[in-house]
Amino acid sequence: MVRGRLGILGRVALTTVLTAMVATLLVAGQAPARAGALGVDGWTPVDRSLDQTTCTLLGRHWAPGGGDPGCSRRGCLVDGAHIQGDYGTEACVLGRRAYADNLEPRVCRALGRVWLAPVNRCLQEAEHRSATVLPDAPQCAAPTTTYVLVPARVGPDFCVAPEEAERARVARDADVASEVDELVLRSAALCALRPDHNWRRNGTCTPLASGEDKDRTRRDVLVIGDSVTWRSADELHDARPAWRVDGVPGSSLGSYRARLRRHLRVHDRPRTLVLALGANQGIRTTRRSDYVAALAQVPDWTRVVLVTPYRDASVYGKRKGRLMKRIGIWMRTLAHDRPHTCLVRWYDAADAHPQWLLDGVHQTSTGEQAWAGLVERGVDRCTG
């Protein structure tokens, strides 16, 4: 373990040297497979699907392993950091900042940051605590190689081209306190995520005037789900780039209303809602009326696609398995009773293909593709 903070740039450089030294153990140029796939590394304390550079960027310790190298699922490079995430999606967290966070793939790329498909996460600078500008950041995708740390109350961090950062430093507006503030003022990608700001014709992002509405973007399809949705977000974005995919690991139906309201603050009301929540519902507290109330939050003309949840009863117990079946039955009756409502039978597909799952609920890379494909076809049937 690294004592203190060598800095991510220094560790990435060191990693590059070390990687060359163990070249016989790694296939040069091979793209890392998806983390955690049973066919890749099974249930092990190290993830052999990640290369050493990626491991370092996630803040995790590289374990040589005596001929069996891999990225540790238990240890972080910096003292005080800890591992967070489901199996196959682990990243280290230092204080309140993770080395990679759960942004949508589209949002991550729009902000100029690096999307790591193997762990379904967006790289983030975790070791600098104050708002600042970092050149040549490995968390940034070329040509936007300068990382801008943004106060949490404003929005997520973003990356800009070096010349843009230099212009902000030199031509900082007299009313703007810092270079970071100037870059925030001129970031269209960040502005789109700020519900109380609009993008102006003069190339700045300013607060809404009294009585002014947010310029909302059109997202005809909104997907709200949990970690199963989150793991398949990049597959959905690749196939349906206009969709808005909101997958939050560990979330339940109780989070649905707030997430729908948050979406409507920056986007138009969706014509189609995909509701993929249920795997994290409580055994004793979940009722059919919860799903009835959820559907009542959208107009009758909104097409709704319900995705039946799945947890393997042999892993999570018979009571949890029975709950998954009950939720599926409720969804089926709701799809029958409510106009413009359809069903995607993920429960049946996952139950018939246990090899699609890592742990009885979360998908392998094949399972991620299968889930996304089922949802795409379900939306097409419902809207066709």
Mean pLDDT, rounded, of the chain: 86
Based on the fold, state whether residues 139 and 240 are members of the same structural domain: no
> What are the backbone angles phi and psi of residue 124, rounded to the nearest 5°?
-145, 145
Establish whether the linkage from the previous residue to 118 is cis, with ω within 30° of 0. no
Average pLDDT, integer, range 23-49: 47
How far is residue 143 from each of residues 146, 177, 193, 262, 366, measured CA to CA in Å? 9, 26, 22, 31, 32
The lowest-confidence range among 4-8, 39-43, 206-210 is 39-43
Percent of the chain whose pLDDT exceeds 70: 85
Residue 161 lies in a domain: yes
pLDDT in tens, 260-277: 999 988 888 899 999 999
Which letter, b or e, does each residue of 130-155 get, where b requires 16 or more Cβ atoms within 10 Å of its Cβ? ebebbeebbbbbeebbbbbbbeeebb
Residue 161 is which amino acid?
A: A
Based on the fold, state whether residues 168 and 30 are members of the same structural domain: no
The lowest-confidence range among 83-92, 98-107, 172-181, 374-383 is 172-181
Q: Identify whether the C-beta of residue 59 lies closer than 8 Å to the C-beta of residue 77.
A: yes
Q: Identify whether the C-beta of residue 51 lies closer than 8 Å to the C-beta of residue 60.
A: no
Residue 300 lies in a domain: yes
Q: Identify whether the C-beta of residue 307 lies closer than 8 Å to the C-beta of residue 275.
A: yes
pLDDT at 214 over 90: no
Based on the fold, state whether residues 203 and 296 are members of the same structural domain: no
Distance CA 38, CA 34 (A): 10
Identify the pLDDT of residue 34.
Answer: 32
Residue 64 is which amino acid?
A: P
- Can you tell me which residue has the tokens 């039978």? 345
pLDDT in tens, 112-146: 999 999 899 999 999 887 768 999 999 999 999 99
Residue 108 lies in a domain: no
Tokens of 180: 């970071």
Based on the fold, state whether residues 241 and 364 are members of the same structural domain: yes
pLDDT at 65 over 50: yes
Residue 353 lies in a domain: yes
Domain with 69, as residue range(s), is: 8-102
Which of 4, 80, 15, 83 lies closest to 47, judged by CA? 83
Based on the fold, state whether residues 64 and 143 are members of the same structural domain: no
The distance of Cα 148 from the centroid of its chain, to the nearest Å, equals: 20
Q: Identify whether the C-beta of residue 194 lies closer than 8 Å to the C-beta of residue 154.
A: yes
The distance of Cα 192 from the centroid of its chain, to the nearest Å, equals: 18
**Could you say which DSSP state residue 159 is in?**
E
Average pLDDT, integer, range 337-354: 97
Element (H, E) at 16: helix 8-21
Based on the fold, state whether residues 285 and 369 are members of the same structural domain: yes
Q: Which residue has the higher pLDDT, 269 or 38?
A: 269
Element (H, E) at 337: helix 318-337
Distance CA 21, CA 194 (A): 46
Task: Calculate the dihedral angle through the C-alpha atoms of 17, 51, 42, 277, rounding to the nearest 10 degrees.
Answer: 140
pLDDT at 20 over 80: no
Based on the fold, state whether residues 182 and 291 are members of the same structural domain: no
Based on the fold, state whether residues 154 and 298 are members of the same structural domain: no
pLDDT in tens, 277-332: 999 999 999 999 999 999 999 999 999 999 999 999 999 999 999 999 999 999 99
- Can you tell me which residue has the tokens 């996460």? 121
Q: Identify whether the C-beta of residue 281 lies closer than 8 Å to the C-beta of residue 253.
A: yes
Based on the fold, state whether residues 334 and 246 are members of the same structural domain: yes
Number of domains comprising the chain:
3
Distance CA 249, CA 85 (A): 9
CATH number (domain holding residue 258) = 3.40.50.1110
pTM of structure? 0.77
Identify the pLDDT of residue 316.
Answer: 95
